[in-house]
Structure 1
Amino acid sequence: MPKLRTETFGSGDQSWLGSAHGIGNCRTETIDISAFTASTHYPNGYIPSGTPVAKVSGLLVPYDVTAGTTTGAGILAGHIFTDQPVVGTQDFPAPLLDHGRVKTASVPFANFAAPLTAKNATTIVYI
């Protein structure tokens, strides 16, 4: 018997977007779910739209606002474009917004701050 589950799909709260620029060009990347914690990153069962991420060893991990990290997690890759339900422990693909405009104050991450140096940033304009 197959394992069945019901899912509801939606884009989530995208009030963090500062414009429509870039949303049609999100690229698919893979989330390293082992780098995220349920209580911090997806307490409601999903990684919320707008979550800032870094790319480490080819996988998306939570962005670390302390730019001096040795893992590369302090180099912003972009933001998860839509809510991503977390089911199990397998890594999974997700759309990544890596250019456009983002409202810093609306990013769903308590300590988010736009990168201060160009080497830690993307082509996103923060407003």
Structure 2
Amino acid sequence: MDISVTTEAWTVENRSWLGSRDGTPYTESITLHVPSFTANLHYPDGFIPSGILLAKYTSGPNVGLWGPYAGATSESQTVTITGSPTGGTFTLTFDGETTAGIAYNASAAAVKDALAALPGVTGNDITVTGGPGPGTPFVVGFKGQFAGENVPQMTASGSGLTGGSTPAVTVTTTTAGGSGNTSGLDVPEGFLWNSTHLRAGGAERIGAPLLWRGVIRVNRLPANSGLDEAARTALAAKFRFKG
């Protein structure tokens, strides 16, 4: 007779992050790669909570298995005016399109308006901080449709600037966009449907269901869900986000 003590872990399922039943009858069976999840981050109490954002390995030794979405960094670029101009304008060129002239002493809002007026760009796609010129650089952040992407670096022309000592405008990439993860985990695919029990040192692979379309209440997702702006943009065709 075996009289050893055994324990079993339980959790109460919480899907308050789900906004409707749309998509729930069509979950997909996948296989998680357990070592890809970090105990203290993804399953501190022994369970990966439902609502964790997942991605699929497309290269390397774990092809076909699933792990946590690795996230992506949105790009920022710094525009600096040198030579202390006292008048005139400068321009910025992004992806082949050039802005109208921007005043040498423009505010951050004016630089944003000039960029947002370019074809294919909206005010929701960029942020601009810093300024006013020429004394303080402008930092252009890319979001919206450009969230998480390694966008082309802007170029600038200071030929319209006057006064000062050989005024010019330079652009440098402050933070490169995109992800250093090339295994596929930088491409979000869907959310874990069932809270899943994991044990460090246990099975390397475990089956789980994936919700790949539906309505998500963002403010109810688990704190470690991994959802970022880049993921929201990438998943917009499959999911509707509330909050």
TM-score band w.r.t. shorter chain: 0.7 to 0.9
- Tell me which residue corresponds to 1:64: 70
- TM-score, with length taken from structure 1: 0.83
Structure 2 gaps, min length 5 = 58-62, 73-147, 149-177
**1:103 matches 2:105:** no
Query: In the superposition, relative to structure 1, how do residues 9 and 24 fare at CA in structure 2: closer, same or farther (>3 Å)?
Result: farther
Aligned pairs, number: 123
In the TM superposition, 1:1-127 aligns within 5 A as 6-8=8-10, 10=12, 12-56=13-57, 57-66=63-72, 67=148, 68-69=178-179, 70-87=182-199, 88-108=202-222, 109=224, 112-114=227-229, 115=231, 117=233, 120-121=234-235, 123-127=238-242
Kindly state the Cα deviation for residue 49 of structure 1 after the two structures are TM-superposed. Answer: 0.7
Kindly state the Cα deviation for residue 112 of structure 1 after the two structures are TM-superposed. Answer: 2.3
Q: Matched residues in 1 for 2:7 and 2:49: separation?
A: 20
Kindly state the Cα deviation for residue 110 of structure 1 after the two structures are TM-superposed. Answer: 6.0
Letter in 2 for 1:64: A
SS at match of 1:94: strand
Letter in 2 for 1:97: L
The superposition leaves residues 72-101 of structure 1 with CA deviations (integer Å, 9 ceiling, x where unpaired) of 212111000011001313210101000011
Letter in 1 for 2:207: P
- Please tell me whether the aligned partners of residues 70 and 185 of structure 2 are also in contact (alpha carbons under 8 angstroms): yes
Query: In the superposition, relative to structure 1, how do residues 80 and 34 fare at CA in structure 2: closer, same or farther (>3 Å)?
Result: same
- TM-score, with length taken from structure 2: 0.46
The superposition leaves residues 3-58 of structure 1 with CA deviations (integer Å, 9 ceiling, x where unpaired) of x6535475x11011111111111110000111001011000001101111111121
- Please tell me whether the aligned partners of residues 34 and 89 of structure 1 are also in contact (alpha carbons under 8 angstroms): no
> Could you say which structure has the larger radius of gyration?
2
Q: Matched residues in 2 for 1:42 and 1:85: separation?
A: 8
Q: Matched residues in 2 for 1:93 and 1:5: separation?
A: 21
Letter in 2 for 1:74: D
Identity of aligned residues (%): 30
Structure 1 runs of 4+ with >3 Å offset: 4-10
- Please tell me whether the aligned partners of residues 104 and 113 of structure 1 are also in contact (alpha carbons under 8 angstroms): no
Structure 1 gaps, min length 5 = none
